[in-house]
Structure 1
Amino acid sequence: MKIVYITQHFPPEIGAAQGRAYDMSKNLSILGHDLLVLTSFPNSSSTNKLFKKETINDLKVYRSFRIKDTKTSSIRRLANYLSFMISSTFSGLLAKKPDIIYATSPQLFQGVTGYLLSRIHRAKFVFEVRDLWVDFAELLGQFNNKKLLNLARKLETFLYKKADLIVVVTNGYKSRLIEQGIPEQKIIVIPNGVDPSSIKPYKKDPAIKKEYGIEDKFLVLYTGNIGAAQGLQTVIAAAEQLKDDPSVFFLFIGEGVEKAALKQQAEVSQLKNILFLDSKKKDELTAFYHAADIGIVSLKKHPLFEITIPSKVFDYMAVSLPVLIGVDGEAREIVEKNQAGFYFEPENTADFLRVLIYAQSQQDKLQQIRPELPNKLLMSFNRKTMAEELSEALNNLTDATKQKLHKKTTKSHE
C-alpha cells in the first residue's frame, strides 16, 4: 500500500511528536508499505530552500518551506503552520497515486493538507489526533481571538467529518470525539509508546552527578517542553521550600515559553538547588536519565489533561527512570498499574513535597524497580505492535473501498 505520511515534526528535530512520527512511519515501512513522508525543514535550520528530497533510513522524505517559528509569537507560530500547510500541499502533488493520505496533528492545518491531497489523489484520508489542539489553545490562552477560535473549531469538526478514519492516542480523546458526534466505528486508539530498538539497559552512572557536584543528592529530573501546560511553577515553589535541605537537587533540561520566567523565579529566590540546561539530543539524555533518581511528569490541573497521556511517561519508563507524576486520569493509571512511581496532585506544592519526600525515603525500592520498567512498558505500549494494529486498520479501510468498487463494477455488467 502506498501511504503519504504528513507531519511537520520529524527528525533531526527532537521531541515526542518527532519520535512518534519517525517510529510509526519506519515500522509501517518495515511491514511492507510504501511510505513517503512530507515534512518541513527543521526549525533550527536557516535554509531558504523551498523543497528538498532526501532518504532517512530507507524512508523517502520530502521537505518543504516553512516560516521559522520563533516560539515567542502566536502570529509567527500561525505563519509557521500555514506556510507548511501550503508548501506540503504542493510537495504532496508529486506523490505517485497513493492509497492513503495520513495526516498527523498537532497542528490542525496538517489535516487540511491531508484532506486536499486525498481529494486530489482520490485516496483515503486518515487523520491522526495526538492533541486536542483547539481546546488546548483556548485553555492555555495561546489564541484569545474568539472569532479565530470559532473558525478553528469549525475546521476541526470539518476534518473529523471528512476523515475516513481517525486515529487518537487515548481512550479519553475517543470518548470526547464521540460526544461531539463523530461515529465510534471510524475512531481507533493507537496510544504513544516506545520502540524496542530504542531501549538501552539501565546502568547506574555516577558521572553526571560528579560533573555537577551533586554526588550525594537525590536528583529530581525534568526533561522536555517547559511550556504553559506543564504547571512547573509548582516544582519551583517546592524547590524554594527545600532550599535549606542539602539532600535534594532539581535539574531541568529543555526549552519552552515558560523557561525564562521559571529561571528568573529561581534566581530571584536565590535557589542553589536547581539548574536549567539547554535541550539535548536523545542519546545525550541517557546519562542524565541513568543518573537521576526520579523524573517529573507534570500538567496543569484541568479535566482536559486527565484524558491526556504525556509521552514523557513512556520516555522515562523506557530508560528505567521512576516517575513522579502530576497528571490524573489515564496517565496516572499507567504509572500506578505498573508500579512505576508516585502520583501527586497537579499544581499542589504541598502534595508535591509530601510525595517527593516519600519517594526520597524509598530509594532502595526505586533502584529495585528500575530494571523492570522497560519490559512492563513493552507489554502494553510497544510501537511495533501498534504499527501492526494501524496497518491492519489501513488495510481494512482500503479493502472496504475495493469491495465497494467491485460491487459497482459487477452491477454495471449485469
Structure 2
Amino acid sequence: MNILYLNHNIKGEGTYFRAFNFARQIIKFKHNIVLLTLSPKKIFTPFSYIEDGVKIIETPNFLDRTRGGWGPADIIYRVFHCIFNKYDLIHTFAHKPTVYLPLLNAKLFHKKIIHFADWDDWWGKGGINSEYRPTPETIIEEFLEQDIIKRADYVTTTSIALKQRALNLKIPKEKIFHIPSGADIERIKPLPKSKILKLKQKFNINKNKKILGFVGFGQADLGILIDGFTLIRKKRKDVILLIVGPLEKRWHNIIENHPYKNDIVITGKVDFKIIPEWISIIDICYLPLKDTPTNRGRNPIKMGDYMAAGKPIIANPVGDAAHIIRKYKIGLTINYSSYDLAKKTLFLLNKQKLITIFGKNARKTAENYYDWEKVAKELNDKYNMACKLLF
C-alpha cells in the first residue's frame, strides 16, 4: 500500500518519534510510506529525503508560532500534497489543522482512502491545552481532537486512558486498537562498564558519580525531581542530576538558584542519534507524572528508551507506565512528592543488586513485549485487515 503519515510536530520532537518508528518498521512489510513533519529550519520550501527507508518531507515553518500545527505555509503545502497525491491509507498523528485539513482534502478528492487516527496525547477537556489560558486555537482544538477521531475508520491509542476516551465518544470497540509506543532495542542497548566509563570521560563527568537522569521533553512535572535531588544531595555527595534535552523556561531560575546547581547537568538539545549514549551512563531513570488527564493519556516514548537501555525506573503511579513497572518489576513507583522520590532513590542507590535486577528485567521486557518491530507488526496486521474489508 501507499501510506501517508501526517505528523504536526517539528521533526525530532514529541510524537514525531512514534510516527517515524512505526514507519521505519512498517516499510519492511513492502509498503511505501511518506511522512510529513514540520521542518525545524526550512521557512518557505519543503525538503524531502529518505531516512531508514522512509520518505520524509519536512514542510515549511513560515509563521508557525506553536511548534507545529498551525503554520499557514505548512497547511497550504500539505493540502496541495494530499490533493495531487493518491494514498491507499492515511494515518493521522494528532488533530492539529496541519493534519486535519489535509486529511479532509484527501478524502474529498480521492475515493477509498482508509483513515487511521492515532490518539497519542490528551489535549482538550482537562488535558494539555487546559494548562494554558483559553485562546481561539485551544477552543478550535477542543472540536478537532474529537472530530478527527469520530471521522476515522479506525483509531489507534497509545494508552488505555485514551482508548477509554474513544469508547466514551461511542467509537465501536472493534475499531479501537491500543498500540503502545515501542522500545528501540537495536539502537539502544545496555553497555558494559568499560564503555560507560569512556562515555563519562567523553561527556566530562566524574567516573565515580552516580547519575540520576531524565531524558527528553514533557517536563511539566520536573519540579519534584529537582526538589527531590536537593534532599538526595544532602545525604550523598556522589550524585549528579542529568537532564538530557533542552530545559523548559519555567525551570531556568530554579536551576540557577539551586543550592547544588554545580551537580546538575543540562545537555541542551542533542542529536537524537547520540541520546542512547547519554541514557547509557544513567544509573536511575525518572518519569515524574502528576495525576492529571494529560499524564493518564500519555505513554512516553522515553519509557521504551529507558527499558531498552536496561535501566531501573522510578515513576509516579499514573497511566500505563505504573502498570508496566509493577507487572514486569523494572523499578519503583512513588507518591507525587519530592520526599518520597528522595526516599526511594536513596533506598535504591544502596541496593546495587536490585538496580541490576530491575535493569535486566527492563531490557527483557523491551525485547519481549515492546520491541518496535513487534509493535509495528501488530499495526501492520490492522492495516491489512482494514484493506481487505475495504477492497
TM-score, normalised on structure 1? 0.84
The alignment status of 1:131 with 2:129, answered yes or no, reads no
CA shift in 2, pair 1:300/1:79, >3 Å: same
Residue in structure 1 matching 2:101, options 112, 116, 125: 112
Return the offset for 1:132.
1.9
Residue in structure 1 matching 2:171, options 154, 177, 182: 182
Contact between 1:118 and 1:124, CA under 8 Å: does it hold in 2? no
The aligned residue for residue 405 of structure 1 is none
Contact between 2:224 and 2:338, CA under 8 Å: does it hold in 1? yes
Which of the pair has more CA radius of gyration? 1
Return the offset for 1:151.
2.9
What is the alpha-carbon root mean square deviation over aligned residues? 2.5
CA shift in 2, pair 1:401/1:283, >3 Å: closer
Give matches, 1:166-181, under 5 Å: 166-181=155-170
Deviation per residue, 1:326-357 (Å, 9 max, x gap)? 242321110122211111123x1111111111
The alignment status of 1:218 with 2:207, answered yes or no, reads no
Once the two structures are overlaid, the 10-residue window that deviates more, 351-360 or 98-107, is 98-107
Q: Supply the distance in 1 between the matched residues of 2:68 and 2:185 (Cα, whole angstroms).
A: 35
Q: Supply the distance in 1 between the matched residues of 2:162 and 2:218 (Cα, whole angstroms).
A: 23
The alignment status of 1:55 with 2:53, answered yes or no, reads no
Contact between 1:111 and 1:127, CA under 8 Å: does it hold in 2? no
CA shift in 2, pair 1:60/1:291, >3 Å: closer
Give matches, 1:230-249, under 5 Å: 231-244=221-234, 245-249=236-240
Contact between 2:60 and 2:73, CA under 8 Å: does it hold in 1? yes
CA shift in 2, pair 1:52/1:91, >3 Å: farther
Return the offset for 1:250.
0.8
The alignment status of 1:103 with 2:92, answered yes or no, reads yes
CA shift in 2, pair 1:214/1:108, >3 Å: farther
The alignment status of 1:158 with 2:144, answered yes or no, reads no
Return the offset for 1:373.
2.4
Residue in structure 1 matching 2:278, options 277, 288, 293: 288
Give matches, 1:137-152, under 5 Å: 137-141=128-132, 143-145=133-135, 148-152=137-141
| Unmatched runs of 5 consecutive residues or more in structure 1 | 70-74, 403-414
Q: Supply the distance in 2 between the matched residues of 1:127 and 1:79 (Cα, whole angstroms).
A: 16
**2:7 partner letter:** T
Q: Secondary structure at the match of 2:166?
A: helix
Q: Secondary structure at the match of 1:393?
A: helix
The aligned residue for residue 412 of structure 1 is none
**1:322 partner letter:** P
Q: Supply the distance in 1 between the matched residues of 2:338 and 2:17 (Cα, whole angstroms).
A: 31
The aligned residue for residue 90 of structure 1 is 80
The aligned residue for residue 330 of structure 1 is 320
**1:2 partner letter:** N
Residue in structure 2 matching 1:26, options 24, 27, 44: 24
Contact between 2:20 and 2:35, CA under 8 Å: does it hold in 1? no
Q: Secondary structure at the match of 1:60?
A: strand
Return the offset for 1:81.
4.6
Return the offset for 1:63.
3.2
The aligned residue for residue 250 of structure 1 is 241
Deviation per residue, 1:178-216 (Å, 9 max, x gap)? 112222222111110124432434222123445545333
Deviation per residue, 1:258-283 (Å, 9 max, x gap)? 3x342321322332332222122233
CA shift in 2, pair 1:213/1:174, >3 Å: closer
Deviation per residue, 1:293-342 (Å, 9 max, x gap)? 11111222324423422221111011112111124232111012221111
Return the offset for 1:106.
6.3
Q: Supply the distance in 1 between the matched residues of 2:69 and 2:359 (Cα, whole angstroms).
A: 43
Q: Supply the distance in 2 between the matched residues of 1:182 and 1:82 (Cα, whole angstroms).
A: 31
**1:239 partner letter:** F
CA shift in 2, pair 1:108/1:332, >3 Å: farther
Q: Supply the distance in 1 between the matched residues of 2:384 and 2:116 (Cα, whole angstroms).
A: 12
Give matches, 1:256-271, under 5 Å: 256=247, 258=248, 260-271=249-260
Q: Supply the distance in 2 between the matched residues of 1:297 and 1:349 (Cα, whole angstroms).
A: 13
**2:240 partner letter:** F
Return the offset for 1:170.
1.4
The aligned residue for residue 400 of structure 1 is 389
Give matches, 1:3-18, under 5 Å: 3-9=3-9, 13-18=11-16
Q: Supply the distance in 2 between the matched residues of 1:276 and 1:220 (Cα, whole angstroms).
A: 12
Q: Supply the distance in 1 between the matched residues of 2:119 and 2:97 (Cα, whole angstroms).
A: 9
Q: Secondary structure at the match of 1:342?
A: strand
The aligned residue for residue 408 of structure 1 is none
Q: Supply the distance in 2 between the matched residues of 1:237 and 1:196 (Cα, whole angstroms).
A: 32
Q: Secondary structure at the match of 2:134?
A: coil
**1:334 partner letter:** I
CA shift in 2, pair 1:183/1:380, >3 Å: same
The alignment status of 1:317 with 2:307, answered yes or no, reads yes
CA shift in 2, pair 1:261/1:149, >3 Å: closer
**1:225 partner letter:** F
**1:320 partner letter:** G
Contact between 1:51 and 1:65, CA under 8 Å: does it hold in 2? yes
Q: Supply the distance in 2 between the matched residues of 1:241 and 1:383 (Cα, whole angstroms).
A: 37
Once the two structures are overlaid, the 10-residue window that deviates more, 108-117 or 231-240, is 108-117
Matched-pair identity in %:
19
CA shift in 2, pair 1:55/1:183, >3 Å: same
Contact between 1:53 and 1:60, CA under 8 Å: does it hold in 2? yes
**1:218 partner letter:** K
The aligned residue for residue 182 of structure 2 is 193
The alignment status of 1:64 with 2:55, answered yes or no, reads no
TM-score, normalised on structure 2? 0.89
Residue in structure 2 matching 1:277, options 257, 263, 267: 267
**2:242 partner letter:** L
Q: Supply the distance in 1 between the matched residues of 2:75 and 2:218 (Cα, whole angstroms).
A: 26
